[in-house]
Amino acid sequence: MAATEPVNLSSRVRLNQGTEMPWLGLGVFLSEPGRPTEQAVRWALEAGYRLIDTAAMYHNEADVGRAVRGSGVPREDVFVTTKLWFTDHGYGSALKAGRESLERLGLDYIDLYLIHWPRAPTPEARLDTWRAFEVLQKEGVCRAIGVSNYTVRHLEELRKHSSVFPAVDQVEFHPWVYDPEFLEYVVGHGIRPEAYSPLTRGRSLNDPIVGAIAKAHGRSPAQVLIRWGLQHGIIEIPKSVHRERIFENARVFDFALSSDEMRRLDALRGGPRVTQTDPSTLP
């Protein structure tokens, strides 16, 4: 399903708004603000990662920006994503929040700005937020705009009321929350799916099926789960603050899962989510 098969950490996929985004990056959700986040980002950039994913709600945007600026890696080579928290839905609030995120990052622009959740006071407020995102993109605050935790229903709302469709929909996605119908919809409409919590925050790394596949390849369970997502055409942003894990998670381009192994992992669907909120329950 991948538009082009990623072959290394430098591989990128072209988004529907013209920019190119790396296939694999570092997520910093629950990374402690300050030195822990800054050090994790520096290690990731040292390992060759060129995608860093943060959010206003993580309270570590400034640390991400500091690490990027001090890394020695050219700014244009690093793809930085951040997100608007749901309390900032609404036209004026979203404009203010986007500009403040850019200021905290201390960068010239945000590569990808996402609506973190579709949770909003009203559907109209949600659409007003998207209108603000279009303005922020035109102003150069961000180069691409997208959403997170949007279901097909939420995406259809945008499709009916906006001429700009999201470049990315970032959702919880791993074998236990595998939704082929959602995947078919977003890919069919030119939206790139991106997986947060692809390692289930460690909760399912001891699964016997994952373990058996990992053993067969001489790999870790985490590497198997990341590889599964990549082979489904999904951008992956595993989180870690440990140098050895950050480097290990990047070593997923020199092996491939067989079609049978992919089917075995796909069959795990229907398991529990790691996020407390199911987006399908949001109006």
Catalytic residues, by residue number, are: 58
DSSP 203: T
Cα distances from 25 to residues 102, 184, 195, 270, 280, in angstroms, run: 20, 23, 10, 26, 26
Interacting residues of 240 by C-beta distance below 8 A, sequence separation 6+: 26, 40, 246, 249
Interacting residues of 280 by C-beta distance below 8 A, sequence separation 6+: 151, 153
CA 57 to chain centre: 15
What is the rounded (10 degree) CA torsion for 98, 103, 104, 105? 90
Q: Is 250 exposed, middle or buried (0-12, 13-18, 19+ CB in 10 A)?
A: buried
* C-alpha to C-alpha distance for 1 and 4, rounded to whole angstroms: 9
Please answer whether residues 6 and 23 qualify as being in contact, where contact means their C-beta atoms are separated by less than 8 angstroms.
yes
DSSP 60: -
DSSP 197: S
